Amino acid sequence: MFFPVVDSKDARDGCENATPDMTSPPRYAIIAAMNFADRLAHASREKNSVVVLGIDPQLDAAGAPGIPPGYTLARFCCEIVEACARSAVAVKPQLAFYEARGLEGMRAFCEVVKLARKLGLITIADAKRGDMGNTSVAYAEAFLGDGDFNCDAVTVNPYQGSDTVMPFIAKVKSGDRGVFVLVRTSNPSSGEFQDLNAPNRPIWESVASRVNEWGSDFIGASGLSSVGAVVGATYPVQARRARELMPAATILVPGYGTQGGTAADAVASARADGSGFIVNASRSLLYAYQKKAGAKPIEAAAEYAESMRQELNNALAARRTGALSHTA
């Protein structure tokens, strides 16, 4: 995998009616192919950021924010990505919001991924796929192959068993791709099944242990594995336990912002050295403009992304300071 050196104006090719360059994001150097976890760790160090842009355009329905007036789906999503690229390391479009819009939605998904790559951002398809046999093989090819929907990584649901995950891990083995396995999710009712004992510990802990096993063959120079996990910010106690069970996993942390997770909650997934985690914001970022009278959608999202980056870095620094005080 190579990250092309591009100017912002070039990166906007394919995004209809894109606005003039407002962010002047830095140019990215070309780097040779490497382990997915190493690429993510490199991007995080370069930008001093763990921010992931959840590009999840809510549906145009009663009570939902939808697409702001004056924007098409593709233009809104692409301009958000471009404006926030300086502050983020990755984008994570949730497939449901694109699939629900049919062909227009999937075209917009492809444009978001294409633009993100041109801006040097890592792409994560939030698909939560997983099924039996050849079905998982097809899902893995769709999102980690070379087709229209291919991304650098994909989220995977392991709750049907190991055989549903193996086709995705095979893609990790054959290239520089990654997977994020659902372990302890951020939704309110996640504990209904994930916290059940099986037989002497919660099911999610058993899944975490398997993720640790699956990932042991894919640890890069960073000490992190390309087989990662999804652990919600809304359950920081479980997040700390998850880190104990998966010391080398790259953890994707949803739940920050609208779902109630704070920066202090989110950094609970970090390793002792502060590495090994990335934090997603979706609705709170895309619709930041709704929180401030007169704010413009794109500028508000960019301000939110940068504020999020700083807030997470401050929380990480505070955690390190607290750890040092306990050992002094």
Cross-strand pairs, 124: 153
- In the block, tokens 């300086």 appear at 86
CB atoms within 10 A of CB 295: 15
Q: How far apart are CA 129 and CA 99, in angstroms?
A: 14
The DSSP call for residue 18 is P
Catalytic-role residue among 128, 171, 173, 291: 128
SS3 202: strand
CA nearest 229: which of 203, 207, 201, 251? 251
Q: How far apart are CA 72 and CA 104, in angstroms?
A: 10
SS3 227: strand
Q: Is 296 left (phi over 0), alpha (psi -120 to 50) or beta?
A: beta
Q: Is 128 a catalytic residue?
A: yes
- In the block, tokens 């041109």 appear at 118
Cross-strand pairs, 154: 125, 179
Residue 7 to residues 16, 26, 34, 232, Cα–Cα distance (Å): 17, 8, 24, 35
**Residues designated catalytic:** 128
